[in-house]
A and B are shown apart, each in its own frame.
Chain A
Amino acid sequence: MRGILKSREAILALAILVLLALVAMRFPAFILPGNLVNVLTDTSPLIILALGQMVVILTKCIDLSIAANLALCGMVAGLLNMAGVPIVVILLAVIVLGALLGAFNGLLVWKLGIPSIVVTLGTMTIYRGIIFVLTAGKWINAHQMSPEFKDFPRAILLGLPVMTWIMIAIVLVFTVLIYRTPLGRAFFAVGGNPHAAVYTGISVGRTQFAAFVIAGTLAGLTGYLWVARYAVAYVDIAGGFELDVVAACVIGGVAIAGGAGSVAGAVMGALFLGIVKNALPVVGISPFAQMAISGIAILVAIAFNARSSRPKGRIILKQAEHRVVEGSA
């Protein structure tokens, strides 16, 4: 199993290097360290959300409300800031709110058994609608935000902005969560084979609920980062971003049918997409062709991954069977 995993991530890493080389041929300044840090920072929200989406997809669900959750939490962060609430409290508030919004999705999926795509399509509209209710469609603009509010994600710490450090911290936490905790293994088990998971004593619904709460929490946090970075909050921020997040997961080899994926894959999938997004404006390709090109890049990356996704599910199953045997022995 290790071998396949490693080789797949290796292919993706190679694809990223090839992509960087192609971009550098047209625009050498793109691969200067300073610019690569910019790209990494710009991609941080996508990486964070892709990790959240990954655990949801691992459990055979999908969270389409992730960008709406981000927008709502970002708007609440902006409103709290206008009310003079300190940053620490705002951070806590958006994390809790994001978790609650995620939990709402999770409860509907768990307790009512509604397919997640339907639930999150609905809550996506509800969450955006709530922003309308809160603000009557008004914007929160740069001058209405306090300098501390805008500066926190930008502050440079050991050469990297705080936003990037937050992303790195989350990646590390996720690595431990996914590979070193029972919950992490439960995500794979539930997605790989729900029936087998039940026999091993894992509650499918509860695991899916946990996945939605994690995704929601990350979306809430990213909401603040997003609003502070672009210094503007309105109903439509991050419109359509949920699809970028799903695309990043799929590029990263997270099987859309659940049960297969890796932290490194999701991070690299997001990076791949982030590099494409940042490179297109500078490589001098007609804006009319850009959309098609980023679509083709996504498809090519997925085509690479699709071939190796099938045997992997079986391998996980074997492992799960293995564990049942061990447990009963």
Chain B
Amino acid sequence: MSILRKTLTTVALATGLIATGAHAEPMRIALVVKALGIGFFEAANKGAEEAAKELGDVEIIYTGPTDTTAEGQIEVINALIAQKVDAIAVSANDADALVPALKKAMDRGITVISWDSGVAPEGRQMHLNPSSSALIGNTIVKLAADHLPDGGDVAILSATTTSTNQNVWIEEAKKVLPNYPGINLVGVVYGDDLADKSYRETQGLLQTYPNLKAIIAPTSVGIVAAAQAVTDAGKIGQVNVTGLGLPSEMAGHVKSGASKSFAIWNPIDLGYSATMIAYHLAKGDAKAEPGAEIPMGRMGNVKLDDKNEGAMADPFTYDASNIDQFSSIF
């Protein structure tokens, strides 16, 4: 019985292999996400499919665990190794836990890159950051400056005093301030990523600086609270709230005019770029090494630093013209 089954399985497998071998084999790129069912990653998949269509001979396998655990991703990766995919592009739930599984994949000749949320350097060939701190710092100032042709006072509403991300972005923003003449940064306040404290801090800003023209909140809790506080103070049109936020959370405030525009990395572009990079690396026409430039189709090239990391682009800007299109996505 067991011999029969083995034979049958072998035959079936062999047929399968021959069958796939007979076609001009499409390259199979697996997009492994933190968890299925998250709008941000569904959008990234759209970008990956777009890249696949553009490249022609690529098949995207969109997969991931059902909850955001490293264990779940390891299982998924092991299954992909068994399927002998050509490339794995992963947004990791844990930087270190995935390394052994991904090393195994690389040993079998599979191209491995990480994107969005990175893997430790020994577990991947390169990592694609959505953006760089410098680009983000510049973008948040530009967002405010774009709507202030005559300049004016702006203030920053951050998360906590110890948030690493926000502090780095604010540092970078301060560095580029001289490039925006007339834009006068009057203060940085901290809403601790609490809706009520952010709201109160915004009220404080409005009182302290009657000439305030814009509030930059590089945090998704803060930007929503600030927009609400500006709305309640009846200062829509006088004070523009901008920064980093998610379209689904900001849609109402963009429509009301409290926020003219804001930015965040575009998950569609991110999925597109990750797929492009994985394709070129797997095909062998680009190499992941410090200083290398890897093409990403319509997104231009990514330049790798000495840790084999690269930044995709400026954060994508959302305003009244495109908010509806994206607010249903993420």
Contacts and interface: CB of A to CB of B under 8 A. Distances in A.
Contact of B201 (A154, A237, A281, A284): A281
A96 B110 CA distance: 58
A232 B255 contact: no
Given A154-B232, A281-B189, A288-B161, A141 B251 contact: yes
B189 A232 contact: no
Interface in B218-256: 224-225, 227-228, 232, 248-253, 255-256
A38 B203 contact: yes
27 contacts: A27-B207, A29-B207, A38-B203, A139-B249, A141-B248, A141-B250, A141-B252, A142-B228, A226-B196, A230-B196, A230-B228, A231-B224, A231-B252, A232-B195, A232-B225, A232-B228, A232-B249, A238-B196, A239-B194, A277-B197, A278-B203, A278-B204, A280-B204, A282-B204, A282-B207, A287-B189, A288-B161
A35 B208 CA distance: 12
Contacts of A280: 204
B205 interface: yes
Interface of A: 27, 29-30, 35, 38, 42, 136, 139, 141-144, 154, 226, 230-232, 236-241, 277-278, 280-282, 284, 287-288
Nearest to B251: A143
A141 B249 contact: yes
A281 B200 contact: yes
Interface string B295-330: 000000000000000000000000000000001000
A132 B256 CA distance: 29
A232 B224 contact: yes
Contacts of B232: 154
A141 B207 CA distance: 26
Contacts of B250: 141
Contact of B204 (A144, A230, A232, A281): A281
Nearest to B187: A284
A132 B74 CA distance: 25
A111 B253 CA distance: 48
A27 B208 contact: yes
A133 to B, nearest CB: 13
Contacts of A154: 232
Interface centre among B161, B195, B199 (most CB of A within 10 A): B195
Interface residues of B, number: 31
A231 B253 CA distance: 10
Contacts of A240: 194
Most chain B C-beta atoms within 10 Å of own C-beta, residue among A42, A141, A281, A284: A281
Contacts of B208: 27, 281-282, 284
Contacts of A278: 200, 203-204
A271 to B, nearest CB: 15
B255 A143 contact: yes
A34 B197 CA distance: 20
A203 to B, nearest CB: 38
A230 B200 contact: no
A38 B37 CA distance: 41
A142 B200 contact: no
Nearest to B190: A287
Nearest to B188: A287
A284 B209 CA distance: 11
B224 A281 contact: no
Contacts of B224: 141-142, 231-232
Contacts of A284: 208
B195 A142 contact: no
Contacts of B188: 287
Contacts of B253: 142-143
Nearest to B255: A143
Nearest to B254: A143
A48 to B, nearest CB: 14
A287 B191 CA distance: 10
A230 B161 contact: no
Contacts of B256: 142
A99 B227 CA distance: 33
Interface string B252-286: 11011000000000000000000000000000000
A42 B229 CA distance: 12
A281 B252 contact: no
Given A239-B194, A280-B204, 7 more contacts: A142-B252, A142-B256, A230-B196, A232-B228, A238-B196, A282-B208, A287-B190
B228 A277 contact: no
A30 B203 CA distance: 11
A238 B190 CA distance: 16
A37 to B, nearest CB: 12
A94 B232 CA distance: 24
Nearest to A42: B200
Nearest to B210: A29
Nearest to A281: B204
A136 B67 CA distance: 11
B300 to A, nearest CB: 33
Give the residue among A27, A142, A278 with the most B Cβ atoms within 10 A.
A142
A287 B160 CA distance: 10
